[in-house]
Structure 1
Amino acid sequence: MTQRHLLLEQTVLDFVPKTRRNGLLALGQVKKFPFFCFYLLIVTSVLHPLAANAVDITEQLHRPLNSSFGRQSRDEADALLRVGEQQYASGYPDKAIDSGLQALDIYHWLSDYKAQGLTYDLLARAYIQLGRDKEGENALRRRLAIARDTQDFQAQIFALNNLATLLLQAGETVAAGNTVQEAITIAHNVKNIAGEGLSLSNFGLVTARLGDYNKAIKLYEKALTFRRQTRDTQGEINTLNNLGDAYLAAGNYPDTIGTYGAAMGMAKILGDRTNQLRSIDGLVTAHSAVGRYERAFELLQQRLIISQELQNQQEELNSFASYAQLYEQLGNYPTARNFYERAIILSQTLEDSKQEILLRDRLTQMLKNPK
């Protein structure tokens, strides 16, 4: 199952757009560079929806309390929440939801709003990882309501960013923009530097989605100043990759290469392979666009090595597909065909029929209509 993550900066969704379209790099298609598919949620830590007929949180929250429940203690609720966090971290979001809902019942009975807020954080992450986005949004809105009631401005900032990210992923761009602008205002008013950096970066994503890349670039550059003040290296890497996306879409290749290069170097030091691969993808596209094919091939070799070291077949497939596209672009059709076929074999291994169809179609088109 492909995981989606909420970034854990006070449980924050720092949206990371995919740099691929159906697993293939957009080589030679820079003007249509794919800003937003989905990857993550959020530290990086973007799921196959699972069938679930879950009862609404409100119904579960307000179901009648029996006598045995009334005797449960705060210690029991705290233990349930800890277990839920452990279950989520261990890759069992469904079990984390069960534990979280039990804890939520007790915290409601105790009128402990702060603990309810923390529990909604857990539930939101778990629901979203399972692809149950509506329930995740419900949990996020309840988390936000509690933060407003208790005047917890930091929690409001992060909840708003989480909600904006989820709305952006659902294609509700205007709503996402309004939500993240509210977060920017609060962060600025209370001088929350970390929150302002995150919010500006996410607003850059909204602006880029609307096609205003120059404005997005300014927002990312401003966000970087705040993220560097707080020494938020992980956040800085993410914003640098976003900035690289915007430069690439705007056709500014020198700044594209410099920005992605900086992100790649920092990600390598942190051991953040996800962002490292993302930077490499952007660099391959940029170097190819200006005819620096030798450098593009060097980067693809790095990409393939990282994928194999991670034993990540999906990323290995993506590497083969990128090789195939680049060789196709250069007119080396026999080698391109070889890499397409290797990618197709991996798609079959992964039982990814959609990807297999896409790759076969691309190969067929290449063989019928060589450029």
Structure 2
Amino acid sequence: MKQRYFLPEASIVDMNPPRKSKSYELGSWDCAILTSYRGGKSQFLAICLLILAMALSPLKASAVDITQQLHRPLNNPGLRDSREEADSLLRIGEQQQMSGAADKTIDSCLQALEIYHSLGDYKAQGKTYGLLAKSYIQLNRFTEAEDALRRQLAIARDTKDFQSQIFALNNISTVLLQKGAYSSAGKVVEEALSIAQNVDNLAGKGLSLSNLGLVNARLGNYNKAIKLYETALTYRRQVGDILGETNTLNNLGEAYLAMGNYPDTIGTYGAALRIAKTTSDRINYVRSIDGLIASHSSVGRYERAFDLLQQRLEIARDTQNLRDEFKAIMVYAQLYEQLNKYLTARHFYERALIIAQNMGDSKQEVFLVDKLLKMPKQ
């Protein structure tokens, strides 16, 4: 899921210092010997003796050390310390991202990037840009996320890292989807799929087909989306991508739900729920529950919907996720309103209003105040 339209190659390409190799040293020796032949046998022997003397001289060790330092700058203790600092910052950033501290993750990543740029470490830069993009997405800062992902993509192209290209392109398409740029997202993910097919990357095929299905679903092409999801599932299962399989199943459930195909919706979401529960995948588990609540309530199975909704609320409270708790309370209110149980619905809307105030969400607060004023009293 991770680079912008700001000509990332131009800003990143020359971060790597020119690299030398031992072949250049060998070339110099060859040149010296070949030149000596032109001066005659005695000159050649003299130069050979000179070379031998240089080889046996203790100065040779110093010369090699300097060359190695130039060729591998990380051997410099100061730079090695910098690398350790950057690696530590990246690890801290990963922990912060997992705990949901996106702002802190961004700070850690930017500090690490500054060091990796000075070291000319492309691989580490690419990894850091991917983590940076995740944090920007978490904060709904999609323009900055896209920029980070396009920089990651530029590095992957420079280093001929096809797998990273596939995943960066897919992540860019996801950001474009979030921004509502469906056509652009489709073109980007098609490029990712083309690369995956050319290098026969099964995981990349599964991911790209799933995201291409998502693009088509956003465009309302649900039949095509379903076919793409089903094909994606075969690849994801083939490579044992459990997380990817669960995500695609949830996408497939959404497509069935949009088409009003409730039996397949419930079956697909149910499969995703079972896998997510087994793998402790909280994000997909919650997605599956949300899909099942919507599908069961759509066919009048409110008792089952309320059972699932109670699970949803408990998860939100266990994880102290106020936003998820708000969403669960809102669904309670909406379901009771559908059942014309207005007093109970009002009770849940009032609870949602308190949570919105605690979160400082003025938009939801205004909506709920208006909702309560317009609701029937009984």
Please give the alpha-carbon distance, in whole angstroms, between the structure 1 residues aligned to 2:336 and 2:221. 32
Q: Which amino acid aligns with 1:198?
A: L
Superposition pairs for residues 87-106 of structure 1, below 5 Å? Answer: 87-90=93-96, 91=101, 92-106=104-118
Q: Secondary structure at the match of 1:367?
A: coil
Q: Which runs of 4+ in 1 moved over 6 A?
A: 56-63
2:365 to 345, 356, 360: 356
Query: Alignment partner of 1:151: what SS?
Result: coil
1:35-184 aligned within 5 A = 73=79, 76-77=82-83, 79-90=85-96, 91=101, 92-108=104-120, 112-184=121-193
Alignment gaps of 5+ in structure 2: 3-7, 18-72
Distance, in Å, in 2 between the alignment partners of 1:347 and 1:57 is 43
Aligned residues: 309
**How many Å apart are 1:242 and its aligned residue?**
0.8
Once residues 205 and 166 of structure 1 are traced to their aligned partners in structure 2, the CA distance between those partners, rounded to angstroms, is: 12
Change beyond 3 A, Cα 1:94–1:200: same
Alpha-carbon shift at residue 237 of structure 1 (Å)? 1.1
2:313 counterpart of 1:313 = no
Q: Does 1:224 align with 2:211?
A: no
Cα distance, 1:319 vs structure 2: 1.6
2:136, 2:145 within 8 Å by CA — same for their partners in 1? yes
Q: Which residue of 2 aligns with 1:326?
A: 335
TM-score, normalised via structure 2 length: 0.74
The offset of 1:120, in angstroms, is: 3.0
**Is the contact between residue 292 and residue 305 of structure 2 (CA under 8 Å) also seen in structure 1?**
yes
Is 1:241 aligned to 2:247, yes or no? no
Q: Distance in 2 between matches of 1:161 and 1:321?
A: 32
User: 1:113: how far off?
Assistant: 3.5
What is the percentage of aligned positions where both structures have the same residue? 56
Distance 1:78 1:156, change over 3 A: farther
The answer to whether residue 214 in structure 2 is matched with residue 208 in structure 1 is no
Equivalent residue runs for 1:248-263 within 5 Å:
248-263=257-272
Query: 1:357, 1:179 → 2: CA distance?
Result: 38
CA distance in 1, matches of 2:10, 2:195: 28
* 1:116 CA displacement: 3.6
Query: Alpha carbons of 1:104 and 1:135: their partners in 2 closer, same or farther (altered >3 Å)?
Result: farther
Q: Shift of residue 323 of structure 1?
A: 1.1
Instruction: Please point out which of 265, 272, 277 is paired with 2:286.
Output: 277
Give the superposition deviation at 1:129.
4.2
Q: Are 2:182 and 1:185 equivalent residues in the alignment? A: no
CA deviations 1:130-163 (Å, max 9, x no partner) are 5543333223222222222322211111111111
* Residue 337 of structure 1, CA deviation: 1.0
Check conservation: 2:9, 2:155, Cα contact below 8 A. no
Q: Return the offset for 1:78.
A: 5.3
Residues 9, 151 of structure 2: 8 Å contact kept: no
> What is the alpha-carbon root mean square deviation over aligned residues?
2.8
Q: Deviations over 1:337-363 (max 9, x none)?
A: 111111111212222221222223333
Q: Deviations over 1:297-330 (max 9, x none)?
A: 2211222222222232222222221111111111
Work out the CA distance in 2 between the residues paired with 1:217 and 1:100: 41
Runs of 5+ in structure 1 lacking a partner?
1-6, 12-55
Q: Which has the larger radius of gyration?
A: 2
* CA shift digits 1:10-29 (9 cap, x unpaired): x5xxxxxxxxxxxxxxxxxx
Alignment match, 1:304: 313
For 1:184-236, what per-residue CA distance to the aligned partner results, in whole angstroms no more than 9, with x for missing partners? 11112211111111111111111111111111111111111111111111111
**TM-score, with normalisation over the residues of structure 1?**
0.75
Q: Which has the higher contact order (CA 8 A, sep 6+)?
A: 1
For residues 135 and 319 of structure 2, the distance between their equivalents in structure 1, rounded to whole angstroms, comes to: 25
